[in-house]
Chain A
Amino acid sequence: MPETREIPVVWIQAATCSGCSVSVLNSAAPKITDVLLSEVIPGRHVNLRFQATVMAGSGEPVVEVLDAAAKGDPGSYVLVVEGSIPTRDGGVYGTLGEEPMVDRVVALAKNAMAIVGLGTCASFGGIFAADPNPGGCVSVGALLKEKGIDAPLINVPGCPPHPDWFIGTIATILVGGLSAVEVDELGRPTRFFGRLIHENCPRRAYFDEGKFAQHLSDEGCLYELGCKGTIAHADCPLRRWNNGTNWVIGSGAPCNGCVEPEFPDLISPFYERLPEEALLVPRKES
């Protein structure tokens, strides 16, 4: 039997709700146990060295895993960052293993082969960086830029991200390397974030006919009720959520545009119609 190649992954949680972790646990094919235990791609095993939600150990022994990665051979692991990173007052608003999270992320990022920003907080700042951003939370990309760290970064946004978006991105890296992941100008894999929700929405015909729902639970396009599917890039209508059971608009709720850098500040109020001119505003620098 050919030898299995171990791909070490260090997954660090900063200012997060852990929803990204929980969403990845929802992966249906492969199942999360397949990812943890088996060769997710023949000959390749994701060796999850650190993941605080599932790992057996606690305290000093597991902090040593982080330290060993940061001080070990350069480029020997993939770093997954979940959550935005608190930076106010030197990062005292978030610590891990008795060190500011920001210091841990910087040390791990410097030494990583590649970095995946998992979820909208890590990708763009997200909820915890929303105004007035009490902890001074920043995205991974912003932190790398500020610290002058030139490490390859892929953003897999979503609040939470669909498990397929993450597993699919990791699988692509395992098969073809980082260059195999085609990304948009925001660093998102185009495979998952290449088209607007609106382009594939089953309620699109209502929009074209001008039939708009007036109240939640009504038939019709949800645009007037605040749906942001017209500006949100994701394949939710085709992929659907939770093993294809349902999805946001399928349950009669407007899309919150959670995959975009404008989430939540510029995209809220969530239940107010997007001004038509918003569709024409150039995207801000992320």
Chain B
Amino acid sequence: MRTVVIDPVTRIEGHLKIEATVDDGVVVEARSTGTLFRGIELILRGRDPRDAPRITQRICGVCPTAHATASTFALDEAFGIADRIPTNGRVIRNLILGCNYIQSHVLHFYHLAALDYVDVTEVATYEGSDPGLLAAKAFLGRGELGPFVPRYEGDYRFPTDVAQLLASHYVQAFDVRRKAHELLAVFGGKMPHNVGIVPGGVTQIPEVDTIAGFLWRLNEIRHFIDHVYVPDVLEVARAYGDYTEIGGGCGSFISYGGFRLESGRFLDSGTTSMDLAPQELDVGKITESVAHSWYSDDGESRHPTAGKTEPAPTKEEGYSWLKSPRYDGRVYEGGPLARMLVNYGRGNEKVKGLIDHVLSALDAEPAALNSVLGRHAARAIECKLVADAMADWVLDLVPGGEVYAPYEIPDEGEGAGLTAAPRGALGHWVRLKNGVIDHYQCVVPTTWNASPKDEQGNPGPVEQAIVGTPIRDDENPFEIVRIVRSFDPCLACAVHLNTPRGRSLGRYVVS
């Protein structure tokens, strides 16, 4: 028996440690540890509620727009203006969030995940004229290989020409993700940490030139998604077919839904298992356990709005700064795969068409989606779905039309803001007293996915996905980092402190 410790797990967002106990070449136990605590919810107490979308964005520099979105939804509700947001405001919020979906998904596949599959040193023998690859070749020739070496060695499978092509896409994708942020800035002002999404709507009135500029920037990115990103995911899937059998998680999936339309949402909410028969989401069933988290514990799991949590960094049973969110007492996985499965099960034609296309290209059954490659494929499909929809949404904007509904801040109020963040289900809960924040709560995607064991001893989704995996070489545990990265963990989001005071906001059912 040997324990493999990976700290830090790099190419994720935030600070994560993974410990895996390997017995006879197979992982028998895994522990996922969030290693940084910042306490943003404590910082919010007593502040002007309008500051919350700006401050909560600083939870995560990779997906700040999702926090701005959840926070403004919660505040719209607390201010009693949720039904007064002008159409332009609603649409621009979706566009800003959508831009960051694209940025996040492209960044994840190429810059966070691909180096686990593509040996970039194959570029050393490149003979063509691609400037990115020539620069990479010169770089390799100089022999100082940081930040690409050291790395785990031994399981790069692409022939040289394919590896070189994928390496050129790695370079190209840096431009694409940058341009997705430029697209976001058209209406969001700047990125990271947009300034456009505010309670009441957004800050910038769209005009014909900004709408056109947005559309054509978007179209360039859509071309890359269709002709490079989606095909590259299939290329990786073909070379690493065994990864449709590795990394299956708990098999239960949760989606809060995302992108508000005139009625309903572009991506539906719900829960599902691999039977693909989704159930309605009942947010009242969400609880958080701290049995194995570094917070003091009275043995009870609570709805997030009633969380009772104080840091206890020396707690014997604790091994993570993450708490353990559970739904109806059970472990659930969130993220693009969860959203695609829920929407597939609901019969969403576009989702069904794209997933069936991918499955037939790989000659695979839907069950194969619960895997490392299933998560990558679902992310690419979602990226295309959202990008295509944005091209329609931007044309719903009325040039010169209002974007913002003025309001008074009430003394008292409460609200919940639930949305789909790139990495999964994101919820913010706020309560106001005397016109300032009395209580603020975030339950974020990676807290679901990378959570430690709960009070019943059930491991979190990432831990479950690692257990049972054969490890070929425990000096180079590729399998583990590939599984972990397929979740696109965001530890900066996941580690937060719940305020010690709180009461239930009741049950929220998201339709």
Checking A64, A94, A215 against B35 with a beta-carbon cut-off of 8 angstroms, the contacting residue is: A94
Give Cα A217–Cα B245 distance, bound, in whole angstroms: 52
**B144 & A45 in contact (Cβ 8 Å cutoff):** yes
Interface centre among A26, A128, A270, by most B CB within 10 Å? A26
A278 interface residue, CB < 8 Å from B? no
Could you mark each residue 73-102 of chain A with 1 if its beta carbon is under 8 Å from any beta carbon of chain B, else 0?
000000000000010010011111110010
**A50 & B146 in contact (Cβ 8 Å cutoff):** yes
A137 interface residue, CB < 8 Å from B? yes
**B47 & A269 in contact (Cβ 8 Å cutoff):** yes
**A92 & B313 in contact (Cβ 8 Å cutoff):** yes
Chain B contacts with A in 38-67, Cβ cutoff 8 A? 38-40, 42-43, 47-48, 50-51, 54-55, 57-62, 64
User: Nearest residue in B to A97 (C-beta to C-beta)?
Assistant: B7
| Residues in A neighbouring B423, C-beta threshold 8 A | none
A286 interface residue, CB < 8 Å from B? no
Checking A6, A98, A133, A270 against B17 with a beta-carbon cut-off of 8 angstroms, the contacting residue is: A98
Checking A19, A94, A160 against B36 with a beta-carbon cut-off of 8 angstroms, the contacting residue is: A94
Given A50-B147, A137-B38, A252-B204, A270–B13 Cβ distance below 8 Å? no
A23 interface residue, CB < 8 Å from B? yes
B109 interface residue, CB < 8 Å from A? no
Chain B contacts with A in 150-209, Cβ cutoff 8 A? 150-152, 171, 174-175, 177-178, 181-182, 184-193, 195-196, 198, 200-205
Give Cα A130–Cα B9 distance, bound, in whole angstroms: 28
| Interface residue stretch chosen among A31-39, A175-183, A204-212 | A31-39
Checking B62, B142, B149, B203 against A56 with a beta-carbon cut-off of 8 angstroms, the contacting residue is: B149
**B189 & A246 in contact (Cβ 8 Å cutoff):** yes
A148 interface residue, CB < 8 Å from B? no
**B402 & A217 in contact (Cβ 8 Å cutoff):** yes
**B311 & A271 in contact (Cβ 8 Å cutoff):** no
**A96 & B35 in contact (Cβ 8 Å cutoff):** yes
| Residues in B neighbouring A272, C-beta threshold 8 A | 48
Checking A22, A55, A131, A252 against B10 with a beta-carbon cut-off of 8 angstroms, the contacting residue is: A55
| Residues in A neighbouring B120, C-beta threshold 8 A | 56
Give Cα A133–Cα B144 distance, bound, in whole angstroms: 40
| Residues in B neighbouring A101, C-beta threshold 8 A | 36
Give Cα A8–Cα B146 distance, bound, in whole angstroms: 9
B212 interface residue, CB < 8 Å from A? no
Given A18-B13, A269-B51, A270-B48, A57–B149 Cβ distance below 8 Å? yes
Give Cα A179–Cα B193 distance, bound, in whole angstroms: 32
**A53 & B10 in contact (Cβ 8 Å cutoff):** yes
A15 interface residue, CB < 8 Å from B? yes
**B195 & A253 in contact (Cβ 8 Å cutoff):** yes
B136 interface residue, CB < 8 Å from A? yes
A16 interface residue, CB < 8 Å from B? yes
CB of B113, distance to nearest CB on chain A (Å): 11
CB of A274, distance to nearest CB on chain B (Å): 14
Checking A38, A128, A133 against B135 with a beta-carbon cut-off of 8 angstroms, the contacting residue is: A38
Checking B14, B59, B149, B182 against A242 with a beta-carbon cut-off of 8 angstroms, the contacting residue is: B182
**A134 & B64 in contact (Cβ 8 Å cutoff):** no
| Residues in B neighbouring A62, C-beta threshold 8 A | 8, 10, 150
| Residues in B neighbouring A250, C-beta threshold 8 A | 189
Give Cα A255–Cα B50 distance, bound, in whole angstroms: 14
Number of contacting residues on A, CB 8 A?
A: 87
Chain A contacts with B in 83-134, Cβ cutoff 8 A? 86, 89, 92-98, 101, 126-128, 130-134
| Residues in B neighbouring A248, C-beta threshold 8 A | 189-190, 195
**B189 & A247 in contact (Cβ 8 Å cutoff):** yes
**A217 & B50 in contact (Cβ 8 Å cutoff):** no
Interface centre among B64, B175, B189, by most A CB within 10 Å? B189
Give Cα A268–Cα B111 distance, bound, in whole angstroms: 35
**B58 & A17 in contact (Cβ 8 Å cutoff):** yes
**B142 & A4 in contact (Cβ 8 Å cutoff):** yes
Number of contacting residues on B, CB 8 A?
A: 88
| Residues in B neighbouring A86, C-beta threshold 8 A | 36-38
**A38 & B138 in contact (Cβ 8 Å cutoff):** yes
Given A53-B11, A58-B6, A32–B174 Cβ distance below 8 Å? yes
Given A56-B151, A242-B181, A269-B47, A15–B189 Cβ distance below 8 Å? no
A139 interface residue, CB < 8 Å from B? no
A238 interface residue, CB < 8 Å from B? no
Chain A contacts with B in 118-159, Cβ cutoff 8 A? 126-128, 130-135, 137, 159
**B190 & A242 in contact (Cβ 8 Å cutoff):** yes
Give Cα A62–Cα B10 distance, bound, in whole angstroms: 9
Give Cα A253–Cα B149 distance, bound, in whole angstroms: 43
**A49 & B147 in contact (Cβ 8 Å cutoff):** yes
Checking A13, A20, A127, A134 against B42 with a beta-carbon cut-off of 8 angstroms, the contacting residue is: A134
Chain A contacts with B in 42-64, Cβ cutoff 8 A? 45, 47-64
Given A55-B148, A247-B189, A23–B36 Cβ distance below 8 Å? no
| Residues in A neighbouring B205, C-beta threshold 8 A | 217, 252
Checking A50, A89, A132, A268 against B48 with a beta-carbon cut-off of 8 angstroms, the contacting residue is: A268
| Residues in A neighbouring B188, C-beta threshold 8 A | 246, 251
Interface centre among A22, A55, A264, by most B CB within 10 Å? A22
A256 interface residue, CB < 8 Å from B? yes
**B55 & A57 in contact (Cβ 8 Å cutoff):** no
| Residues in B neighbouring A128, C-beta threshold 8 A | 38-40, 43, 58
Give Cα A20–Cα B60 distance, bound, in whole angstroms: 10
Given A86-B36, A251-B204, A25–B174 Cβ distance below 8 Å? yes
Give Cα A39–Cα B80 distance, bound, in whole angstroms: 55
| Residues in B neighbouring A134, C-beta threshold 8 A | 37-39, 42-43, 311, 497
Given A217-B202, A245-B182, A271-B50, A98–B192 Cβ distance below 8 Å? no
Give Cα A270–Cα B203 distance, bound, in whole angstroms: 14
B277 interface residue, CB < 8 Å from A? no
**A241 & B147 in contact (Cβ 8 Å cutoff):** no
Checking A4, A159, A253 against B189 with a beta-carbon cut-off of 8 angstroms, the contacting residue is: A253
CB of B471, distance to nearest CB on chain A (Å): 13
**B185 & A242 in contact (Cβ 8 Å cutoff):** yes
**A95 & B35 in contact (Cβ 8 Å cutoff):** yes
**B190 & A217 in contact (Cβ 8 Å cutoff):** no
Checking A17, A27, A135 against B60 with a beta-carbon cut-off of 8 angstroms, the contacting residue is: A17
**B43 & A22 in contact (Cβ 8 Å cutoff):** no
User: Nearest residue in A to B149 (C-beta to C-beta)?
Assistant: A56
A-B contacts, 11 of them at CB < 8 A, read A19-B192, A53-B10, A94-B37, A96-B7, A134-B42, A215-B406, A217-B404, A245-B186, A251-B204, A252-B204, A256-B195
Other CB < 8 Å A-B pairs besides A4-B142, A15-B38, A52-B11, 14 of them? A26-B181, A34-B135, A52-B10, A56-B147, A56-B148, A58-B11, A64-B150, A65-B150, A86-B36, A95-B15, A131-B43, A132-B43, A243-B182, A264-B55
B-to-A contact residues, CB < 8 Å: 5-11, 13-15, 17, 35-40, 42-43, 47-48, 50-51, 54-55, 57-62, 64, 107, 111-112, 115, 120, 132, 135-136, 138-139, 142, 144, 146-152, 171, 174-175, 177-178, 181-182, 184-193, 195-196, 198, 200-205, 311, 313-314, 321, 402-404, 406, 481, 492, 497
Closest A-B pairs by Cβ, 4 of them: A19-B61, A134-B39, A251-B189, A269-B48
